[in-house]
Chains A and B, each alone.
Chain A
Amino acid sequence: MTDKRDLLILGGGLVGMMLALAAARKGISSHVVDRADPAELTAEGFDGRASAISTASWNLFTNIGLADRLEPHGCAIASIAVTDQMKPGSIDFTPEPHEGTLGRMFANRELRLALFEAASEEPLIAWHAKSEIMERHRGAHGVSVVLADGTSLHASLMIAAEGRNSPTRDEAGITIAKWDYSHRAIIAGLTHELPHGNVAWEIFYPAGPFALLPMLDRADGKHRSALVWTVGEKDAAGTLKLSDRAFLAEVEKRMGGLFGTIESVGPRSSYPLGFHHTARITGDRLALIGDAAHGIHPIAGQGLNLGLRDVGALVEVLAEGMRLGLDPGDAQLLRKYEQWRGLDAFTVALATDGLTRLFGIPGRAASALRRFGMAGVERIGPLKTFFMDEARGVTGDLPELLRA
């Protein structure tokens, strides 16, 4: 048979590539298939996206040997300031020493560059970029895909890492529970007059939180922050279409001179806010990771940390199973991954039945209830909750690869 490998990873984004690298460090071989052109993805100004890398996620980068390469590109988050519409009385949050750091901010472009470089040097990774998948097969003894150019790729286990709209997941008939907030996050990089002092800001407005995450200064010394601006679904398209000048004026108005003059804005993108989770994260010889399996996006970049936890858990389960001589696609291993990273059936049922029904009911009372719920979700302070939970480690069993 042709080059049969352990894993067939569909989707070579941040999560898929991290899986390939983490697996390779444990001696597990993979094919990685992605339709995108890596040169475009790493071009200067491709998107202004940035990711908050939690302490646990950073440990994964350390454990696969990328920390030294990435360290100079990360901007440490020293504290969080939460404020209500820029009114006086902001709540500052600086972690106690035992709570660990709040993490680091990275431009996604820097993460991609480091991952792509490491992947191309790794013999255990066969990377098939710019490749369209025509067919997927999962059989008794293995899995395969046929690419547009007729190439067949074979492996023991298929992994869907294609993000929210995973075609592999849909083809496998795995249902997904969604809770849509009917809001979008507008994401863009800003340069501003005053330094951010490594503070992440979360400013509450009735329409939703407006968050500023500290980034490293640009090469020319300009101060930078990543903006995550929550707007109603109906306002998103208009906000994206604003001219740079009009957009900057809107942003500045909401920042109240916090960082002085806002000088420029990079490419803008938007992201629907919501929660989604699949009923199952495994099938026969199939595992879902990252946003293909679940996502929760009150702020940008969180999805990556969840996805990296999947990576750590799946690699740990596979490496232990293969150490015992088990096939990487063995149902017992997938069961272990499912139990570790899957949402329990009750919660999924609650999310599908309870929430979608609540949100599907027309009428004024239901609408009031929805608004109330939305406000509640916002008041928790997504940034704060996220970083606190990460620091406290309340989000479940941490895979070994995500430990220091």
Chain B
Amino acid sequence: MTDSSVTIRPEEAAHFGQLAREWWDPKGSSAMLHRLNPVRLAFVREAIDRHWGGDPAAVRPLAGKSALDVGCGAGLLCEPLARLGAAVTGVDAAPENVQAAAAHAEGAGLDIRYMAGEVVSLDIGRFDLVTSMEVIEHVADKAAFVAALADRLAPGGLMVLSTPNRTAASRLLLVGAAEAVGIVPRGTHHWDDFIIPDELGELLAGAGLSVSARKGIAFSLSKGLHLSDDESLNYILSARRT
């Protein structure tokens, strides 16, 4: 089922199907996101179990809960959240992404609501879990964005955000080297827009939230991308109402 605003016209279905295939190709232009996915999902799962006191071995820890992913792309995070039992809504500013996500979810047999637009202007209710991964670094008014995310969070809800850190290391590796060798598409990142953990913590505090856990996402040749205490490249955090 998809929202009426993103119902695919037949002549566009092929186009979005192709787009979805590119997004979902583990060796394609989103290869880095695919590798990042299990790492950030491990953090999300731990945050879920800790926040709601669930069984770490449970198959559907989000059963009966609603989840919103802001900046959902083609649904790389929405689909796992749906498999974990949540009623998932994915929002993305680019209508193309949302169409691609809907096409993929349909193929996978998952019931996910996808909507195109800005989270600030969509009237979509409140959610037990709100996630936004690798998005805030692309947003101009970060305070307004964080406030909009907080608005979407139901009482007793959990928020999980991830973003690159603004450090010499991230400037060199994420923006310089990664784009130069093509691991990350050119023009994906503008280092000046990156936000450091303390700044994000202040924005969250301003929206009535406090950080409950934070981890770095680091890279090493032996481990690949992994959760770490080293936050110099990228970090992920969970937050709840103060």
Contact = CB atoms under 8 A, between A and B. Distances in A.
Interface stretch (A318-326, A365-373, A389-397): A318-326
B38 A324 contact: yes
B77 to A, nearest CB: 9
Interface in B14-72: 21, 24, 26-27, 34-35, 37-38, 41-42, 44-45, 56-57, 59
A140 B17 CA distance: 11
A323 B80 contact: no
Interface in B107-127: 107-109
B79 interface: yes
Interface in B68-97: 79-84
Contacts of A325: 41, 45, 79-84
A324 B41 contact: yes
Interface band, chain B: 20 to 34
A354 interface: no
A140 B34 contact: no
A140 B57 contact: no
A333 B41 CA distance: 13
A331 B107 contact: no
B38 A323 contact: no
Interface string A323-335: 1111100111100
Interface string A1-17: 10010000000000000
Nearest to A4: B109
Contact of A322 (B21, B42, B44, B59): B59
B208 to A, nearest CB: 28
A141 B108 contact: yes
Contact of B26 (A1, A27, A322, A332): A332
Interface in A6-42: 27
Contacts of B109: 1, 4, 141
Nearest to B86: A325
A320 to B, nearest CB: 9
A352 B167 CA distance: 46
Considering residues A4, A321, A323, A333, which has the most beta carbons from chain B within 10 angstroms of its beta carbon? A323
Contacts of A140: 21, 24, 107
Interface secondary structure of A, over-half rule? loop
A360 to B, nearest CB: 34
B34 A326 contact: no
A389 to B, nearest CB: 24
A326 B37 contact: yes
Contacts of A332: 26, 34-35, 37-38
Interface string A300-330: 0000000000000000000001111111001
A321 B79 CA distance: 13
A298 B81 CA distance: 47
Given A1-B109, A325-B79, A27 B59 contact: yes
B187 to A, nearest CB: 26
Contact of B83 (A1, A27, A327): A327
A32 to B, nearest CB: 21
A324 B42 contact: yes
B108 A327 contact: yes
A322 B83 CA distance: 8
A120 to B, nearest CB: 24
A321 B109 CA distance: 18
A323 B45 contact: yes
A140 B42 CA distance: 24
Nearest to B27: A331
Contacts of A323: 45, 56-57, 59
Contacts of B80: 324-326
A331 B26 contact: yes
Nearest to A331: B26
Considering residues A27, A325, A326, A332, which has the most beta carbons from chain B within 10 angstroms of its beta carbon? A325
A1 B45 CA distance: 29
The 3 nearest A-B residue pairs measured at CB: A325-B80, A331-B26, A324-B41
8 contacts: A1-B109, A322-B59, A323-B56, A324-B44, A325-B41, A326-B38, A327-B108, A331-B34
Given A140-B21, A323-B57, A324-B44, 14 more contacts: A140-B107, A141-B107, A141-B108, A322-B59, A322-B83, A325-B45, A326-B38, A326-B80, A327-B108, A332-B26, A332-B34, A332-B35, A332-B38, A333-B38
Interface of B: 21, 24, 26-27, 34-35, 37-38, 41-42, 44-45, 56-57, 59, 79-84, 107-109
